[in-house]
């Protein structure tokens, strides 16, 4: 009898934990949508990223990498001004968790990625998906002959990074997301 009671209590507590986790995830997504819809009126963020094929949106911020990543935000490693330049490598990094970049591995070449500064949206098309060693820093190099977007996340062993490279398509005039 005691085993049945303990089993039922464990099942009920597991369901409660799962429900709380789903609610937290939904609240997180609603908060992002609210910030995007109000065009970041408090100016806490530098922009956002949208990956339509994954139904993903995330907020972009520059700053201390630990603080930004631990807040489940997307860290802008490169200088924000590169967004407006004709050439350059916009580098964004995020944790491989359910709030940030856990689904990057589902992307395919030719999928679209959109980044925004809350004024304009910039469309990119994925050109390359790759795993690289953590010691390989060439993905951080700037480029001077094209405009690219680089997304970086860790993998399970944290010695390899998953990297998505996308090429600039065009500016989207209005904030349609």
At residue 177, the pLDDT reads 47
Mean pLDDT of the chain: 83
Structure tokens at 128: 């390359």
d(CA 56, CA 114): 10
At residue 99, the pLDDT reads 87
d(CA 78, CA 150): 10
Could you tell me the CA-to-CA distances from 102 to 84, 152, 173 in Å, in that order?
28, 11, 29
Record the pTM: 0.80
Residues 142-161 pLDDT 10s: 889 999 999 999 887 788 99
pLDDT reading at 106 higher than 80 = yes
pLDDT reading at 4 higher than 90 = no
At residue 80, the pLDDT reads 86
d(CA 135, CA 148): 21
Contact 37, 50 (CB under 8 A): no
């Amino acid at each position: 009898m005691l085993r049945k009671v303990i089993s039922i209590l464990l099942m009920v507590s597991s369901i409660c934990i799962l429900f709380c986790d789903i609610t937290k995830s939904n609240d997180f997504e609603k908060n992002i949508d609210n910030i995007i819809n109000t065009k970041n009126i408090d100016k806490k963020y530098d922009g956002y990223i949208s990956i339509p094929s994954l139904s993903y949106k995330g907020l972009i911020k520059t700053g201390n990498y630990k603080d930004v990543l631990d807040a489940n935000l997307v860290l802008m490693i490169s200088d924000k001004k590169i967004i407006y330049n004709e050439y350059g490598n916009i580098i964004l990094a995020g944790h491989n968790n359910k709030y940030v970049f856990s689904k990057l591995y589902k992307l395919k070449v030719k999928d679209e990625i959109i980044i925004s500064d809350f004024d304009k949206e910039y469309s990119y098309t994925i050109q390359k998906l790759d795993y690289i060693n953590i010691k390989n820093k060439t993905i951080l190099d700037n480029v001077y002959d094209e405009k690219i977007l680089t997304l970086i996340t860790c993998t399970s062993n944290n010695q390899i990074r998953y990297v998505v490279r996308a090429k600039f398509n065009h500016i989207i005039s209005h904030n349609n997301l």
